[in-house]
Amino acid sequence: RQLRRFAITTLKSFGMGKRGAEERVREEAQYLLQRLQQTNGQPFDPTFLLSCAGSNIICWLVFGERFEYGDERFLALMGLINANWKLMSSTWGQLLFIFPNIMRFVPGPHRRIYTNYLQLAEFVGERVRRNRQTLDPQNPRDFIDCFLLKMQQEKGNPDTHFTEDTLSKTTVNLFFAGTETVSSTLKYGLRILLRHPEVEARLHEEIDRVIGRHRGPCMEDRSRMPYADAVIHEIQRFADIVPMGVPHAATRNVQLRGYTIPKGMNIIPLLCTSQFDPSQFANPQTFDPGHFLDEKGRFKRNDAFMAFSAGKDGMQSC
């Protein structure tokens, strides 16, 4: 909880959810558009470019800089992230996720997840060493700088969670999760809209009407674009990008519907059961932005929508 609060506060201080981050997103979007235009209308797989764009936003927050899409270090990182995502989505990866204490002793492709993780951690370690050598307490440049300063403040606390090992794990998790969730949303969004041209046409009409063709979008436009907001939410619901949330643990013995959940028991929320609940969504197996619109066409929230996480501040944190 302490680490979560620190991460959220620090990322917000660097502009997450504010105009500073918005400018970075718009800048990265221009780099992405340039690469898309270079395809000259020929068929291609956009997965890599979408991953690069999403990852660079995280790189700016965590490392204080973006990478060119052809940078060798960046390409190596993207390769490790994509490989781990595929492994974690496989049956082997799911078994490791659910039964970690058993699967760590079982041979199989899931063992490469940890090997790839160590390579990501090695890159983060290099960045940490570089930042430590040039650290200015009065002018923190990125998430790593802020964490290093917090480590100095907590130096005399034997129970602190702010250690170099935690810094490495937190940074890798931010980099991995932030890259894949964004790129997967964009990738599935393109696929879904190709299959639903009527939704794309209505979405395009709203974009032209509110934003026009002579400027880029900004956060202030969101309140005037309920249909676009609904489409994005429905893409994340229907695509079921993260079927299972991150593991939680019971902090005390709990009685639930006649069952005893002992303290320390791992609890994995099945987000997909909420996303496809017919009591919460009229046509859960159908892609329908109307799930997030009221009778007047205004955007409406739905508490059953849990795209990436569940629990206290789960959605807000993601």
Domains of the chain: 2-195 (1.10.630.10)
> What is the Cα–Cα distance from 27 to 34, expressed in whole angstroms?
11
> E-strand spans in the chain?
248-249, 254-256, 259-261, 266-267
Q: Which residues does residue 260 pair with via DSSP β-bridges, in sequence order?
A: 255
Q: How many CB atoms lie within 10 A of CB 253?
A: 11
> What is the Cα–Cα distance from 207 to 253, expressed in whole angstroms?
51
Using the 8-state DSSP alphabet, how is residue 305 labeled? -
For β-strands 248-249 and 254-256, DSSP reports them as unpaired
C-alpha neighbours within 13 Å on the C-beta side of residue 14: 23
Q: Digits of tens for pLDDT over the chain (318 positions)?
A: 778 888 878 877 766 555 667 888 889 999 999 999 999 889 999 988 999 998 998 888 888 888 999 899 899 989 998 898 889 888 998 888 888 889 989 999 999 999 999 999 999 999 999 999 999 988 888 889 999 999 998 888 888 889 889 999 888 888 887 788 888 899 999 999 999 999 999 999 999 999 998 888 988 999 999 999 999 999 999 998 887 777 788 899 999 899 999 998 888 888 888 889 999 999 999 999 999 999 999 999 998 898 766 555 444 444
Q: What is the pTM of this model?
A: 0.83
Q: At what angle do helices 47-63 and 143-153 cross, to 10 degrees?
A: 40
> What is the Cα–Cα distance from 43 to 169, expressed in whole angstroms?
38
Cβ atoms of 59 and 65 within 8 Å: the answer is: yes
Cβ atoms of 292 and 229 within 8 Å: the answer is: yes
> What is the Cα–Cα distance from 43 to 46, expressed in whole angstroms?
9
Residue (of 160, 181, 210) closest to 306 by Cα position: 181
